[in-house]
Amino acid sequence: MHELGLLQSVVRAVDAAAAKAGAGSVERVGVRVGALSGAVPQALRGAWPIATAGTRLAGAALEIEELGAAVWCDVCGSEQPVDQFYALRCPACAAPCGNLIRGREFALAFAEVPDQLPD
């Protein structure tokens, strides 16, 4: 599963950061997912418990921020939103356009650890 691999790299990074910060657990994790990243939000949610099992992230909530994709069209001189059926043409003027400026992201947006009292 493609989504599991993507999540595992995020989980490893957050788990390591939590360990460094002395946090025993992580409460919430947010990821940014571009419309053309190839990751399906529903599959990410399904893979989340598997990716986090046995880590500080076990039981953490996953928040997915979906980002729309867009191209820059030189003919229109502007940014144009595209969807997953985008076929290398500007949706506004139909000029050939391969200038994807947004939509392939898969990135960690934030991670929150519970408030802890000093020992």
Q: Which of 17, 58, 67, 92 binds Zn ion (CB under 5 A)?
A: 92
Instruction: Give whichever of 77 and 118 is closer to Zn ion, judged by the CB atom.
Output: 77
75 binds Zn ion (CB under 5 A): yes
Q: 3-state DSSP call for residue 16?
A: helix
Question: What is the closest distance, in whole angstroms, from the C-beta atom of residue 63 to Zn ion in the complex?
Answer: 34
Q: Which of 93, 101, 114, 116 binds Zn ion (CB under 5 A)?
A: 93
Q: State how far the Cα of 56 lies from the Cα of 35, in Å rounded to an integer.
A: 29
Q: Which residues of 76-88 are buried (b: 16+ CB within 10 A; e: fewer)?
A: eeeebebeeebee
Q: State how far the Cα of 36 lies from the Cα of 14, in Å rounded to an integer.
A: 24
Which 33-72 positions form the footprint of Zn ion (CB under 5 A)? none
19 binds Zn ion (CB under 5 A): no
Q: How many residues bind Zn ion (CB under 5 A)?
A: 7
Q: State how far the Cα of 11 lies from the Cα of 51, in Å rounded to an integer.
A: 7
Catalog residues that contact Zn ion under the rule CB under 5 A: 73, 75-76, 90, 92-93, 95
